[in-house]
Structure 1
Amino acid sequence: MFHIKRIARESIPAALEKAERYRLLGEPGLAESICLDILDADPQDAKAIIVLLLAITDQFGASSSGGVERARKLLPRLQNEYEKNYYAGIICEREGLSIFNQGMKGGQFAVYEWLTEAMEFFEKAEALRPPGNDDALLRWNTCARLIMSHQLEPINEKYIEPPLE
């Protein structure tokens, strides 16, 4: 079996730049691997945690590897409540967009649920945001526009347990 080689702490800034570049090039798996190496060298590196979370969400829909849960496991490692809520919203928004882009039959209801959950997290983040940071509002507006422009709605059916005879 292979043993993962550990990178030096002083190489973390350059490795982080590479991870961000790979994300921008549409190679989130490579970015994820680099972030794991960074976090092996420095488990508290806040930027690497965020880039890892985003790299995982970049892969939603491309694989069935439990990406939502893997991304959510990173939330407690974020630095403050603003970041925890903001990135929880990002996870929900991206899962909703992934389902939307797959065009699954009946998927519009799931998309609505994911996007409204994202909006709830963005509202919590909005209340905690630093001055001059409107990122949560921008994301909330994006979700709202997607819901309105595609007339997404919650599922109206409620499951009712049939009586036993």
Structure 2
Amino acid sequence: MSMQHFETQEGEFQLKPLSREGIQAALSKAEKYRLLNDPSMAESICLDILKIDPDNKDAAIVLLLALTDQFGNPGVHQAVKQAKELANGFKDDYNRLYYSGIIHERQGTNALNSGNPGSHFDAYEWYTEAMKYYEKSEAIQPQGNDDAILRWNTCTRIIAKHKLGPRPKDDFIPILE
């Protein structure tokens, strides 16, 4: 296994690998750091887990969620790209669709909170796109798993609460002389 090296002003450092026996405890810590609103720490822990166990679905999910927690921060485009790559990498259709919905929903929340001109139209588009993913995942959800319904309902309530709607059509036709 190759080590990843990092250059700093003080010299070079390399990451230390986790033990396989420590994966479950590390995953628990990553979940706790997400709950403590420290998504970059959760992200780092999940990257360590996935370095040792690349097929660890739980670590991939926590990593995806930690990335979406960072959507309002600088560098959001890289976090979105990484989250989409993770979602597209899920082997089962339900998780691929459901977590794609999460990504779109979080982008809607980011747009809604940005306060940028026209961002309420962007938020509406992100939320409705998320709802399409949730509907698709609902159709194939595991028995007793209503997560997609809960997320769809949340998007519906946010749209209603903030009176979000589609972007108006631009009917402007320039007069040519």
Place the TM-score, normalised by the shorter chain, in its bin: over 0.9
CA distance in 1, matches of 2:91, 2:174: 48
Give secondary structure in 2 for the equivalent of 1:152: coil
Tell whether 2:69 aligns with 1:58: yes
Alignment of 1:52-131 (within 5 A): 52-66=63-77, 67-131=79-143
Q: CA deviation at 1:4?
A: 1.4
Spell out, residue by residue over 1:95-154, the C-alpha distance to the aligned partner (whole angstroms, 9 max, x if none).
Answer: 100111222221001000000000000000000101111110010011011112222111
What residue number does 2:49 align with? Answer: 38
What residue number does 1:134 align with? Answer: 146
TM-score scaled to structure 2, two decimals?
Answer: 0.87
Q: Would the alpha carbon gap of residues 42 and 159 (structure 1) be closer, same or farther in structure 2, given more than 3 Å must change?
A: farther
What residue number does 1:3 align with? Answer: 14
Which ranges in structure 2 are unaligned for 5 or more consecutive residues? Answer: 1-6, 8-12
Which ranges in structure 1 are unaligned for 5 or more consecutive residues? Answer: none
Q: CA deviation at 1:164?
A: 8.9
Give secondary structure in 2 for the equivalent of 1:72: helix
Q: CA deviation at 1:160?
A: 7.7
Runs of 4+ with >3 A deviation: 158-165
What residue number does 1:14 align with? Answer: 25
CA distance in 2, matches of 1:163, 1:56: 47
Q: Percent identity at matched positions?
A: 52
TM-score scaled to structure 1, two decimals?
Answer: 0.93
CA distance in 1, matches of 2:45, 2:39: 10
Alignment length (residue pairs): 165
Rg (Cα) greater in structure = 2
Q: CA deviation at 1:61?
A: 0.8
